[in-house]
Structure 1
Amino acid sequence: MTEPDPAESLATPRVAAGVLFFDAEGRIMLVRPSYRPGWDLPGGYVEIGESPVEGAAREVLEELGIQPPIGALLVADWAPAAGEGDKLLFVFDGGELAAEYRDRIKLDPAEIAGIAFHDPDLVDTLLIPRLARRVKAAIDARLQAATLYLEHGDPYHGAMPN
């Protein structure tokens, strides 16, 4: 009888990373993907061998054609999705996107149909619920100069369910 491979029980989540950029008025940048409806943060899936921040920077370059500095980690979100399996999602602080970068944005039409800066109060109406929760938590983390751990977009407060 062969012993089960312990590696078969380890989580192998898809990993994605996005960046939260602001303009001078405190509005957040959202991108409109060309391959599906709705708004999203700049970012995407991390490739094999990349760290989450490297993946976020690569995605920003691919989608927007710019290489602004990527700041601190704001949130890490454990967010498995039906049909997609386990997912670990990161949001990094892009800070206020300087004019020198905004002026050089060149969208990749295969990925991004448009960008716009939106009032953070509109997040619930612009984003799907799980992403809206993650973005609001990232905004809160930035205001607190903290990093938050989330599960399905909701802050984890240290009490495991029974």
Structure 2
Amino acid sequence: MSDFDAPEGVAQPRTAAGVLFFDEADCVLLVKPTYKPGWEIPGGYLHPGETPGEGAAREVKEELGITPPISRLLVADWAPHPTEGDKLLFVFDGGILPVDERAQINPDGVEIGEYAFHAADQIDTLLIPRLARRVHAAIDARSRSATVYLEHGTTHP
């Protein structure tokens, strides 16, 4: 066993990180992947040795071509998937994207085909349910300057 192999019986979750960006009207930036239906938040799976914050920043740069500062952690969600196994998902606060930064957004065309800002009340119709729960929890955490731990997108005591 190498230093990076987990002992048998120890969880080895797939880990991903995303970022919530807002405009001045508190609408959330969502991206539309080219490889599947629906919308997502900017982000993706981490590379080996990469921290969640580094992975979130890398994914934003790859997907949208921008490098805005990424702030504090809003949500950590333990969200196993029936066919994909254990997952640990992080959502960071990207804050309000200034107009000049928004003008520089350039979807990569490979993973992301388009982007748009959407009101929070549209999230449930645009995102799959588990991601919608996570995004709502992140928006709430941001409004309270809090960080929230979730399981399957639901607050856990």
Greater shift, 9-18 or 95-104, is seen at 95-104
Q: SS at 1:8's partner residue?
A: coil
Q: Secondary structure at the match of 2:20?
A: strand
SS in structure 1 of the partner of residue 7 of structure 2: helix
1-structure distance, mates of 2:44, 2:106: 17
Work out the CA distance in 1 between the residues paired with 2:153 and 2:100: 32
TM-score by length of 1: 0.92
Give the aligned partner of residue 92 of structure 1. Answer: 92
In the TM superposition, residue 99 of structure 1 has moved relative to its aligned partner by 1.5
For 2:50 and 2:98, how far apart are their aligned partners in 1? 26
Code of the aligned partner of 1:118: H
Counterpart Cα distance in 2 of 1:42 and 1:139 = 15
Alignment-derived partner of residue 154 in structure 1: 154
Q: CA deviation at 1:101?
A: 1.2
**1:100 shift after superposition:** 2.1
Instruction: Give the superposition deviation at 1:8.
Output: 0.5
- 1:140 paired residue number: 140
The CA deviation string for residues 98-155 of structure 1, in whole angstroms up to 9 with x for no partner, is: 1221111111000101000000011111110000000000000000100000000000
Normalising by structure 2, report the TM-score: 0.95
Determine the C-alpha separation between the residues in 2 that align with 1:155 and 1:53. 22
Separation in 1 of the partners of 2:41 and 2:94? 11
| Correspondence 1:25-104 to 2 at 5 A | 25-104=25-104
The one-letter amino acid paired with 1:53 is G
Query: Over alpha carbons, which structure has the higher Rg?
Result: 1
- Aligned amino acid, residue 110 of structure 2: A
Deviations 1:45-96 (CA, angstroms, capped at 9, x unpaired): 0110100010000000000000000010000000000110000000000000
Aligned CA-pair RMSD: 1.2
% identity of equivalent residues: 63
Show CA shifts across 1:11-33 (max 9, x none): 10000000000001110000000
Aligned partner letter, 1:43: G
Give the secondary structure class of the aligned counterpart of 2:115.
strand
Instruction: Letter of the 1:117 partner, please give it.
Output: F
Unaligned stretches of 5+ residues in structure 1: 1-5, 158-162
Q: After TM superposition, where is structure 1 displaced by more than 4 Å over at least 4 residues in a row? A: none
Is 1:23 equivalent to 2:19 in the alignment? no
Aligned residue pair count? 153
